[in-house]
Structure formats: C-alpha cells, structure tokens
C-alpha cells in the first residue's frame, strides 16, 4: 500500500514569508508526528497528533510554528515569518497507535525547506 507522502519535496522561500508543509499519513494510522532534522543533527520532535487532537505540542520551537490535522488524516505544518534558522528537513511519520511508542513509526521522505 501507499506509504507516508509529503509535499512539497523541496521548498525555497524568502525570509519573512509563510510556508505550509503537507503530510499524508498511511490510511488508517491514527497517530501522526512531525520532526525536524537540521544539517548534521538528529531528528527533533515538533508535535504529535492522536486523531485530530494534538496532546503534545511541546516541541514546537516558537509561536511561529503551528500544525493542524483534519479528518484524522492529512496534516499541515505552517511556519509563519520564516527565519534562516528554520532551514531544515521536515519529516512526518505515522503509526497505528499513539501515546506509547510501541508502534512502529513510518516516515515520509521529508520536505527540505531552505530560507534565503
């Protein structure tokens, strides 16, 4: 079946502009995660959805970052007034369940964001 998909694959934007990143999880997966991977770094957790609600927003680095999930499926991560330090690869993952990491997380190919 189809895996996790993300769009766009690459995004170049000017500093100060807003961007939206999209994630389509595997059908039937109730949990959805956003991570950020900066150059040479591991993955940094941003936010987690269980269904449409986000019980854990603790990883969002600033109030310029927000995310939503509709219909228990597609999620969008929005970054307002982008800064150069926002440049990174944004990875989305989904899993059958959530709340405890016993379930395998399936990752998408990521969106590479470059802020000029």
> Which residue ranges make up the site for another protein (CB under 8 A)?
31, 33, 35, 40-45, 48, 50, 55-56, 59, 89, 91, 93, 98-102, 104-110, 112
Shortest distance in whole angstroms from residue 13 CB to another protein: 19
Q: Report the C-alpha gap between 11 and 87 in whole angstroms.
A: 10
Residue whose CB is less far from another protein, 16 or 101: 101
Shortest distance in whole angstroms from residue 35 CB to another protein: 8
Helix (H, G, I), strand (E, B) or coil at 33: strand
Residue whose CB is less far from another protein, 50 or 66: 50
Shortest distance in whole angstroms from residue 109 CB to another protein: 5
Give, as one character, the DSSP assignment of residue 85: G
With the C-alpha atoms ordered 7, 25, 87, 56, is the resulting torsion angle positive or negative?
Answer: positive
Shortest distance in whole angstroms from residue 12 CB to another protein: 17
107 and 7 Cβ atoms separated by less than 8 Å? no
Residue whose CB is less far from another protein, 1 or 14: 1
Indicate left, alpha or beta for 110 from its phi (over 0: left) and psi (-120 to 50: alpha).
left
């Amino acid at each position: 079946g189809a895996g996790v998909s993300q769009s766009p694959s690459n995004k170049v934007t000017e500093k100060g502009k807003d961007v939206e990143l999209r994630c389509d999880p595997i059908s039937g997966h109730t949990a959805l995660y956003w991570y950020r991977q900066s150059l040479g770094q591991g993955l940094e957790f941003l936010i987690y959805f269980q269904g449409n609600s986000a019980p854990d927003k603790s990883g969002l680095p600033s109030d310029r970052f927000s995310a939503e999930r509709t219909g228990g499926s597609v999620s969008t991560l929005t970054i307002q007034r982008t800064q150069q330090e926002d440049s990174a690869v944004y990875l989305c993952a989904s899993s059958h369940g959530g709340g405890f990491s016993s379930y395998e997380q399936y990752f998408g190919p990521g969106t590479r964001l470059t802020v000029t």
